A and B are shown apart, each in its own frame.
Chain A
Amino acid sequence: MNTPENDDIFARKAREVFLASTASLDSETLARLRTARARAVEAVGVPARWQMRGWRLPAGVAALIAVALLGGFLWMGGAGTTAPASAFSKANSDAPLMMANDNLDMYGDMDFYQWMAAQDQPAAQPSEPVDDSEDDDDDSGVGG
């Protein structure tokens, strides 16, 4: 019959028999348990040391990298700052050209337009085309 009292008696007996069995373990098992315990106890200090290394090592490496980057930045500072500025100013000089609404093909015929501008100059200034026109007249008379 399963009463709480009977359960208690059964549990006490079971524990008594079990504890008796632990008292008569063979020597090989006992030696193995001792060795396992010694290794485990040795491992108690290991996590602490490795935990210290665990955060110290990355922190040291990170600090070293930060110092190297800062040093590199400062060392390269002069060239680093002027180069982009000069590049920017060069690009900036072309900006009006790029932003204008003019036809960019016009800049390819710049010599022609310079010649055209020269035609608009006052007649006192010597110029080749004037002579050319006279030649043209002569040519037309011969032809007529």
Chain B
Amino acid sequence: MTATGGLLDTAQEMNRFLAEVERRAFRIAQIALRSREDAQDAVQDAMFQLAKRYAARPPVEWVPLFYRILQSRIRDCQRRRKVRNRVLSFFGGQRGEGEDELPDPIASAVDPTARDPSEQVAQADAMEALETALAALPVRQREAFMLRILEGMDVAETARSMGCSEGSVKTHLSRAMHSLRETLGEHWP
């Protein structure tokens, strides 16, 4: 009875955690992979692995564990793409990263119920510019920026998620900020 109750509590807590984090995780994966389908797959896998393997861990540890799994899935996907692109280029055809998917016109349409459509469009443009700039960064700098700034982790959590020291996180983040600000300019957004 106690074990079942504990399991139920853990499941409920896991559900709350994943519901709270899933949208940001998806967007982070999408920014890194430039593909909605691949991002959905990566997040789905990270959710499942976290719940299956680490549900018994204290919930405080779930954030870095989840993002560590997600970053691993993102890197796996990027490696598979590289191999696929090499094979395709060997046989004459080549498709770039993220080109396997055109944006869904309905999905990308502006929500008419939004309070201020012009503001939403401006934010969408700003996000698009940020995504483009992030795509040009080295992988580790991009990871540090997305986890520390976009996801809002502290330095220690970011370091655990990236599997590196806190000093490395600070270095990667500093370089990322410098590059992004140079790319986006003073008037962004």
User: What 1/0 mask marks residues of chain A from 8 to 34 whose CB sits below 8 Å from any chain B CB?
Assistant: 001101111111111111111100110
- The answer to whether A37 touches B19 (Cβ under 8 A) is yes
* B window 155-189: CB within 8 A of A: 177-178, 180-181, 188-189
Of A41-49, A89-97, A100-108, A116-124, which stretch is located at the interface? A41-49
Residue of A nearest to B111 (CB): A24
Q: Interface range on chain A: under 10, 10 to 19, 20 to 34, or 35 or more?
A: 35 or more
- With the chains together, A39 CA to B45 CA distance in Å? 10
A13, B7: Cβ atoms closer than 8 Å:
no
Quick one: which of A10, A13, A28, A41 has the most chain B CB within 10 A?
A41
Chain A residues near B138 (CB, 8 Å)? none
A2 at the interface (CB under 8 A from B): yes
Query: Does residue B22 face the partner (Cβ distance < 8 Å to A)?
Result: yes
CA distance A25 to B103 in the complex (A): 12
Residue B152 at the A interface, CB < 8 A? yes
| Chain B minimum-CB-distance residue to A11 | B149
- B181 contacts A20, C-beta separation under 8 Å: no
Picked from B10, B36, B149, B178, the residue with its CB within 8 Å of the CB of A44 is B10
Q: Which of B48-56, B74-82, B87-95 contacts A (4 or more CB under 8 A)?
A: B48-56
Question: How far is B106's CA from A43's CA once the two chains are assembled, in angstroms?
Answer: 33
Question: How far in angstroms is the closest Cβ of chain B from A61?
Answer: 24
The residue in chain A whose Cβ has the minimal distance to the Cβ of B25 is: A33
- Distance of A16 from chain B, by nearest CB (Å): 8
A28–B26 Cα distance when bound, in Å, is: 13
Interface centre among B7, B15, B47, B53 (most CB of A within 10 A): B47
Complex CA gap A19/B47 in Å reads: 20
Interface residues as binary, A28-70 with B (CB distance below 8 Å gives 1, 0 otherwise): 1100110011011101111110000000000000000000000
